Amino acid sequence: MEFLRPQLHEGIVPSRTLESLSDGTPVEMAGLVVCRQRPGTAKGFVFLVLEDEFRLVDVVVKPNLHERHRSMVRAEPFVIVHGGCSAVSRR
């Protein structure tokens, strides 16, 4: 990420910025997908762990979003995610 960050647009925040954001703040973050989980008991939710140059971040993908972007959620090694920041998602 350190080498890719200069190529990303300025709205994409590093994970260390998440700590200073209020819950529900819209955020864009980029990272390497280090883990994907879709437990049978999760009612269609997918859980990703993204890593940038600072830390790991948990990402929850809602079922309708997973259905629309299934191949990206399941296979892309590097993603940019858009969503609301939540205190429970910070590691």
Structure confidence by residue, pLDDT tens digits, 34-57: 999 999 999 999 999 999 999 999
Is 89 domain-assigned? no
Give the chain's mean pLDDT: 90
Residue with tokens 């920041």: 85
Listed range (40-44, 64-68, 82-86) with the worst mean pLDDT? 82-86
Is 91 domain-assigned? no
Is 90 domain-assigned? no
Is 15 domain-assigned? yes
Write down the H helix ranges in the chain: 63-68, 70-75
Find the CATH number of the domain harbouring 66: 2.40.50.140
Q: How wide is the angle at C-alpha 56 spanned by C-alphas 54 and 57, nearest 5°?
A: 115
Is 52 domain-assigned? yes
**Model's pTM, two decimal places?**
0.86
Query: Number of folded domains in the chain?
Result: 1
**Domain boundaries, position 38:** 5-84
Output 75 or 5, whichever has higher pLDDT.
Answer: 75
